[in-house]
Copies of this chain bind each other. A is one copy, B any other.
Amino acid sequence: MSRPTKHAPERGDARNRLLEAARDIVRKQGFAATTVDDLCKAAGVTKGAFFHHFKSKDALGVAAANFWTDTTGAFFEGAPYHAPSDPFDRVLAYIAFRRAMITNDIPEFTCLVGTLVQEVHATAPEIRDAAGVSIFGHAETLEADIAAAIEVRGISPDGWTPQSLSRHFQTVIQGGFILAKAGNDPELARDALDHLDRYVRCLFGVHAVAYSGDPR
């Protein structure tokens, strides 16, 4: 009878429920504008539970960033863009996958750690660093495919490396989120990825084709 369900808070659940609440609310409102009470209310727990699991609001911020790293890490690891046998196709499939992830609800597809770091980069180094690990760690997962694509396609990168390109992917993704927010239009985030797709094809000397929008 101890089946953990999503909407019936159960003993031992509070920490995770708080982290999920942080993930959802911080993306909507930002970190500073989100109160501890907001999080407790959304998680269905009291402040006692909050400060039992996190020694401060900032500590929750660090934990939320790490939670993001873990959950998105597992999500991308299991994602279908790894399937193509050609490494360059995997790189393109990553971009298509990121594009397909963009829904109509902005807080739903935007990045928690990008939002976090924008706010706290100068005031909460521990949160900033946890966000950095998340972004640069995710970028790293692309490096091997990019390096393999360079080899397979027989190109000689001039002024860029697998690392710098993998980071540029994140740059374009994060920048696309900002434009989507500023224009209140998710399509702007898709446009960013279309330009990225074009850039990558260009770097690898592959002619751009009309973009289908289908990640498969």
When distances are taken between beta carbons in the complex, the residues of chain B under 8 Å from A203 are 198, 202
Question: Which of B123, B164, B178 sits near A33, CB closer than 8 Å?
Answer: B123
Q: Is A117 a contact of B181 with CB atoms below 8 Å?
A: yes
Q: Name which residue of chain B comes closest to A131, CB basis.
A: B182
B194-A159 in contact (CB<8A): yes
| Secondary structure of the A contact surface, majority rule | helix
Which of these, B129, B159, B192, contacts A198 with CB under 8 Å? Answer: B159
The complex is assembled from copies of this chain, and their number is 2
Pair A176/B175 contact, Cβ less than 8 Å: yes
- Given A33-B32, A118-B30, A211-B159, do A182 and B135 touch, yes or no (CB 8 Å)? yes
Chain B nearest CB from A177 CB (Å) reads 8
A37 within 8 A of B: no
User: Can you show 24 pairs from A to B with CB atoms below 8 A apart?
Assistant: A28-B122, A28-B123, A29-B123, A30-B30, A30-B119, A30-B123, A106-B121, A118-B178, A119-B119, A121-B181, A131-B182, A132-B182, A135-B179, A159-B208, A160-B198, A165-B195, A168-B192, A170-B175, A171-B188, A172-B172, A174-B179, A175-B178, A202-B202, A202-B203
